[in-house]
Copies of this chain bind each other. A is one copy, B any other.
Amino acid sequence: MEKELVFGHQKPDTDAITAAMAFSYYQNQLGYETEAVALGEPNAETQYALKKFGMKAPRVIKTAANEVDKVMLVDHNEPQQSVSDIDKVTVTHLVDHHRIANFNTAQPLWVTCRPYGCVSTILTEMFQQKHIDIPANLAGMMLSAIISDTLLLNSPTTTDHDREAVKYLAKVAGVADYNKYGVAMLKAGADVDAKSDADIVDGDAKTFELGGTKMRIGQVNAVELDDVFKRQADLEKKMHELMDANGYQLFILIATNILNSDSELLVVGDNTDKVERAFGHKLDANKRMNLPGVVSRKKQVVPPLTDAFEG
């Protein structure tokens, strides 16, 4: 059987990297020959988790077709979030928890999507169903991924499946107090002062095309939102640079306080009136909008934007 590569989305977060490692391990146990790779270097949070559980980051690739004919995708399905030459390879497997958008295949394939908080939760259930043991260090990474995606089970994307998986994985990984570990891991990823302007605005950003508007939506976690906005002038400059270079018409940065689960948006570009309509709030004189209780780009930011831009 020919080798396949397994990877998550560009600008990988902890789940994108971990889900690739876990699904590759799972498929190899079933007899496939796969290698987990990543479309970027691990961020500070992922590095903290990798160090904690003694695992190495996957190799970074920029293109796939130079190595393989077939790939397996985790944690994304939209082509513009994938490897740059995704149209030149065949996707044989997909495990995801996002909306399906512009994902077209020539052939039937293996897809498992669930509306859970984290792909690592879906994978935990797959391991359980096939009675495949999860190695302790991999379980630690999967625990970290769920804590990351759900902000320690506080995001509205969190399901009972995620809560069950966290308990199970903490036990397998030998993590006695997952709340304590989770706060330490989230804080490691939320050290805003250690991040460049580009990291803050674009490190976890995704591109969306809504109603003809090409927009970039970044998200940064912080312990104090002022750590982000004290640098607002520099961040705006970087956002405009990226807009000019990539043709984004709109750039939204979501700054999320991981301790109280509130967010503040910084919005630059065109059609900001539609952003205001999406959330029913006006931007203030600093182009910012406070959104208490909003932590999930996927569940609380993209859907109202979709309604406002496509409605």
| Chain A contact patch, size range | 20 to 34
Task: Decide: A112 near B109, CB < 8 A? Known: A103-B100, A104-B102.
Answer: no
- Contact indicator A298/B108 (Cβ below 8 Å): yes
Q: Which residues of B contact A109 (CB under 8 A)?
A: 99-100, 113, 115
A47 within 8 A of B: no
Interchain CA distance A303-B107 in the complex, whole Å: 7
Q: Is the interface of A mostly helix, strand, loop or mixed?
A: loop
* Copies of chain A in the complex: 2
A216 within 8 A of B: no
- Contact indicator B103/A108 (Cβ below 8 Å): no
Which of A98, A115, A298 is most buried by chain B, counting CB atoms within 10 A of its CB? A115
Pull 24 A–B residue pairs with CB atoms less than 8 Å apart, ordered by A: A96-B108, A98-B108, A99-B104, A99-B105, A99-B109, A100-B100, A100-B103, A100-B104, A100-B105, A100-B111, A101-B104, A103-B103, A106-B303, A107-B115, A107-B303, A108-B113, A108-B114, A108-B298, A109-B113, A110-B113, A110-B115, A111-B111, A111-B113, A111-B114
